[in-house]
Structures are given as structure tokens and as C-alpha cells.
Amino acid sequence: MLESLKEEVLAANVDIERQELAKLTWGNVSGIDRERGLIVIKPSGVPYSKLKIADMVVIDLENRKVEGALRPSVDAITHVLLYRAFPQIGGIVHTHSPCAVAFSQALREIPCLGSTHADHFLGPIPLARVLTPEEIREDYEGNTAKVILERFAGLDPLDMPAVLVAHHAPFIWGRSAREALKNAVALESVADMALKTLALNPAAPLIPEHMLKEHHDRKHGPGARYGQESP
Ligand SMILES: [Zn+2]
């Protein structure tokens, strides 16, 4: 069941390591089949180089396992709750990519300082609030999704396909697992650029609003003119 989605999710998980977005097993990718309401996700704790298509775990939107011999990623409930809240998205990536983590740990949003950032993300990368001790005790992974969704009140998840979890790391998404992985690569790259910019000039100004909108709209707006026409 869901063979092509499993292949896409497997390839995106392998790309976490290939793109140097996480060491060891500090990351996971999932993808959803919206018609069936089923999610394919990485199994917990299996190294990327050893992952096989048969290892992929299928869960439903109630976080119940539907197929697969292995346990799903411990972050599965976070993925499930994001899919439930954001019907526009089709894939989710979680990594511990170091430059994005630096902002999570510093409890700072990633400011939008230039056009590379604006091409992918419409504004600063939001930071979700720190979880309370009760929230961690009661349901750590579920409440991680809760604080992300709190922060996204009024934000469009396709205009802003990433969030920083305080003291933790980013979650990134897209219309597919493949697109989510691409956004994860872009996020780490813009975090790296922002760190270097702020090291050179801690008072570096934000990109002007008109330039932010122009860069984002030419890739994502109704009159998008970046790349080739889709078939
Ligand atoms: Zn994590």
C-alpha cells in the first residue's frame, strides 16, 4: 500500500543525511496521502543508510499504526497534529540542522535579512514558545505541536513553511515530502547566512518590506515567474 509515497518519504529521509541536515538519527520525514488519510513516516532510531522501503511505517490521523513492523518516529504525534491543522501541506521534515538549532537554542526568530530568505519564507522564521513543565510531563510531543499551532494563529503555513521549537530544533513542511525537504535545505542555508551576517554586523537591518514581497511573490505569488511553466 502507498508504494510511491513510501519511496518519496524514504528518499527524503536519506536526503536528511546527504544534505547534512542531521547527524545520527536526529531527524525524520513523513508524507501524507490525503485521500486515504494515511501518513508514511520514518521508523524510530533506524540509521538513514540502513533504511529500506519495507521499514516505512504507515499511521492514520489518530496516530494509530496501520502498517509496518517497526515503531514510528517518536515525533509521529507532532506530525499527525500538524497534518490535521494544516490541510494544505503534504509533507513534514524535522531535523536538528545546526544553524537553525542555534536560533532555536538562542530563543531567537531567524530574521529575514536578504533575498535568499525572502525567496523561500515570507518573513522571519517564527519561534514557538517554551513548553511548561506540565506540558512536557503530560504530552511532550503532542504539546510541541500545540505550541507550534499557537504561534501559527494568523499565519499561512505555505507562506511560512517552517517553525523553530524553543530549545529544540525546526519543523519544516511543504505540499509534498520532497518539497518539505527542499524547504529544510533552504532553512538551514538561510540560518547559516543570517548567523554570518549577524556576526559581521549585529545591527544588520531587515530586508525592506517591498523587497521581501517582490522576492516571495515572483516565486510563489499568483503571477509567479520563477522557473519553468509546470506541465
Ligand atoms: Zn528533535
Residue 228 located in a structural domain? no
Active site residue 140: no
pLDDT score, position 16:
95
Give 220 Cα–ligand 1 centroid separation in angstroms.
29
Residue 231 located in a structural domain? no
25-45 burial, b for 16+ CB within 10 Å, e for fewer?
bebbbbbbeeeeebbbbbbee
Residue 225 located in a structural domain? no
How many domains does the chain divide into? 1
CATH value at residue 19: 3.40.225.10
What residues have their beta carbon closer than 5 A to ion ligand 1?
169
Give 40 Cα–ligand 1 centroid separation in angstroms.
18
Residue 112 located in a structural domain? yes
Residue 182 located in a structural domain? yes
Residue 230 located in a structural domain? no
Range of the domain at 175: 3-220
pTM of the prediction? 0.94
Query: Active-site residue among 33, 55, 119, 139?
Result: 119
Residue 129 located in a structural domain? yes
pLDDT score, position 231:
43
Weakly modelled stretches of the chain, pLDDT under 70: 229-231
Residue 120 located in a structural domain? yes
Is residue 34 within 8 Å of 90, Cβ to Cβ? yes
pLDDT score, position 75:
96
